[in-house]
Chain A
Amino acid sequence: MTGERMEGKAPVDREIPSGRRNSQGIRIDPETEAELQERRAVISALVDHEPGVLANVSGLFARRQLNIESLTVGPTIDESKARMTIVVEEDEPGIEQAKRQLRKEVHAWSVREVKGAIERELSLIKVSGDDPAGVTAVAEMYGGQAVQANDEIITVELTGTEADIDAAIRAFEQFGVHEVARTGTAALASGTQSTT
């Protein structure tokens, strides 16, 4: 704080451009700019089946503050590789950033958003056993089945889309739901399309 002043016009005396960018760095008209909408995206990544890859990927999403809804990983027909299915809830730039950062993972062979994919999730739901007939009926309605039962608890196995399972759990709530375990979404591209 020497009180010295460099030569030049003070900020208030300068010509300042009036344009603006939004938080994504896109030039905008502030009057008409709409908020970016988040959407659900299913990203499939083929990665080396090695220790540490899952930690790297989950760490990557955490430190970039990308919202993961679910992340599943399992072997593929190639023993050396695993498939990760990551469901994210982000705006368009966020989804793009997630894919690009994931592609930089040295162990990732390919990364792709699968749109219109076949999506399934497995769930186990423990329901109160007071009304076995009712529970079985609801389970059948959602394409599931009771896999274990005693006087107190009926355990139902159910496969479906994330939305199907959400709906089934809501339906079971009338009997009392004790515990739920869900695998998260696994996905493959539809029909003859290759996923990755």
Chain B
Amino acid sequence: MSKPQKTTDTTDPSTESQDLSETKSETTTEEQTTGANSVVAALEKADVEITFGVQGGAIMPVYDAMVDSDIHHVSMAHEQGASHAADAYGIVSGNPGVTITTSGPGATNLVTGIADANLDSDPIVSLTGQVPQDMVGNDAFQETNTMGITAPITKANIFSTNPDTVGDDIGTAIALAAEGRQGPTLVDLPKNVTTGETDVEPSIPTTPESYQVPAPEADSKAVRAAAEALAGADRPLILSGGGVIKSEASEELREFAIEYGIPVVTTMPGLGSFPEDTALAMEMGGMHGTGYANMSLSHCDVLLGVGTRFDDRLTGGIETFAPEAEVIHVDIDPAEISKNIHADYPLIGDAGAVLKQLHDAMPKSPDAEAWRKRTQEWKAEYPMGYETPQDEAIKPQFVVEAMDEAAADDAIVTTGVGQHQMWAAQYWTYTEPRTWVSSNGLGTMGYGAPAAVGAKLAAADTQVVAFEGDGSFLMTSQAIAPAVREELDITIAILNNSYVGMIRQWQDAFYDQRRYESKWDWGPDFASLAEAYGAQGLQAMAYDEVPEVIEEAFAYDGPSVIDFHIDQVADVYPMVPSGGNNAEFALEEDHL
């Protein structure tokens, strides 16, 4: 590969003439080592294979140093897309997703994605360019206080100050993102640091000495007490959260639940942590959880929560959440213990390790035959279902089930945010961890398409299906461009109801049907839009077209977009209104 021509440097709007000459002199010989080279060496040392980003003035030295690297850099059309792609890469691969973007807007455009990763504890590392240190604080061109802006939404952020240590800064950020409770980290890279000379090689990525991660195993006395409570329960229940997937504990959880006959509810990030095609699976609980999950949560007498932060969308009103249950809470983050729900038995440690401990400490199986029978009765009493009159518009739930039926068993689902996300959570059967890739905590519309790009790059041999809404997709649809360029075999299914439907649903239910600014019938023809990007564009208006467009999309070797024109006023049920009682989930609007 050839180096970029030096003349391109003169188009760099953020570089002073003095700074420019330094840049030129350093790119002339291969042997020269700069801070930027050290950054790239650190990424390689951490086995980073793929990075996502967008070029820009202050980050040019790092991009220049990547020319000779084997790292596959994926240029996204927008930094937000880069952050979501990296986030999805992190979820699917388990290794931190890395973005490389410039200063100013290059950093601020990442903010949504970083906040998203922060709420979902997803491992991502953001490398942002910064103006040279002697200009920091002078309101220079494309300067923004990236450290200040990202401090509240990162696990840690680092301002690099020295070419000799910048490589170690990268290693530290990668190690911090991955260890303990995962999350986003950021390294801000002033241009003088990346262009500055160094002969120091970055060391192996490691967390700082001051960083304390709890031991994987919980206190054994506490484990015994918790095991006794669970074994003595009449109505035991497991609540499996995203932490189970993050700590690779799905297998331990499955074995534990089956051996001791304990039904399992999952949180939304926990989808895939327990196979939904088994009898003990109560599936997702919370606001749009199944009736049987919410009945189980409300009536259990011992609740084993693993890797969950008892988010308000799961608990509903705190007063009425599992009101008769003693709570055993397993979490790697001590700050989550009793933050929202009081833990009668706090077990601080790694989900997998603590589940093994609990497994060994159980004196007997709980005597829960009657309870299991009751949970099965709830399954029969509150089935997930919908009607499909063939002469009416397509029901979105039908599309999700048809896609699931046609897709591979281990297919990965990404979603945007809104009604389509809930239908994808409810009607797709999740059986494997790391197959649900969504914006759970932050609720970022537009997450689905760029996430599909990141997911596919993390799992090239696995089928990737993105569900999007028409409103949600419009926010980041430019992610089709890199999908086409990278020749990614992904399918984006738009559940198009010409509304921001979740808002429309709430307006109908809670705002006297005043559908103000929620009708989005001004969007583009998505099939044509896809074709304009060079992807395959398809459309389905009626039930009989559904199987054929799915078949066509799955057969196409490249990105496909299917625009499903669905029932415009289909609602998501069951529903627990915000702050409501899980046991009082509504099955129709009149129940709210």
Contact = CB atoms under 8 A, between A and B. Distances in A.
Contacts of A8: 291, 381-383, 587
B267 to A, nearest CB: 16
A150 B333 CA distance: 58
A17 B589 CA distance: 23
A67 interface: no
Contacts of A109: 210
Interface in A8-53: 8-11, 14-27, 48, 51-52
A52 B147 CA distance: 8
A104 B335 CA distance: 8
A34 to B, nearest CB: 15
A56 B159 CA distance: 13
A103 interface: yes
Interface in B552-579: 567, 569-571, 573-574
B208 interface: yes
B335 A24 contact: no
A120 interface: no
A21 B318 contact: yes
Interface string B208-221: 10111000000000
A23 B341 CA distance: 9
Given A2-B570, A10-B591, A100-B334, A16 B583 contact: yes
A1 B569 contact: yes
B580 to A, nearest CB: 9
Nearest to A24: B342
Contact of A25 (B340, B571, B573, B584): B340
Interface string B302-323: 0000000010000000111101
Contacts of B318: 21-23, 25
Contacts of A107: 208, 210
A175 to B, nearest CB: 43
Give the interface SS of chain B, mostly helix, strand, loop or mixed: loop
A20 B382 CA distance: 24
B525 to A, nearest CB: 25
A25 B338 contact: yes
Interface in A43-99: 48, 51-52, 55-56, 59-60, 63, 93, 96-97
Nearest to B156: A106
A6 interface: yes
B176 A106 contact: yes
A190 interface: no
A11 B591 contact: yes
A106 B338 contact: no
B415 interface: no
B13 interface: no
B192 interface: no
Contacts of B310: 25
B210 A22 contact: no
A9 B342 contact: no
B357 to A, nearest CB: 22
A59 B383 contact: no
Contacts of A3: 588-589
Contact of B584 (A14, A21, A97): A14
22 contacts: A1-B505, A4-B571, A5-B590, A6-B383, A6-B573, A7-B385, A8-B383, A9-B382, A11-B584, A14-B295, A14-B583, A17-B323, A21-B318, A21-B342, A23-B319, A24-B338, A52-B151, A59-B152, A97-B339, A100-B337, A103-B212, A108-B210
Closest 8 CB pairs of A and B: A19-B323, A100-B335, A25-B341, A8-B382, A5-B588, A11-B584, A26-B342, A6-B587
Interface of B: 147-148, 151-152, 155-156, 159, 176, 208, 210-212, 291, 295, 298-299, 310, 318-321, 323-325, 333-335, 337-342, 381-387, 505, 508-509, 513, 567, 569-571, 573-574, 581, 583-591
Interface of A: 1-11, 14-27, 48, 51-52, 55-56, 59-60, 63, 93, 96-97, 100-101, 103-104, 106-109
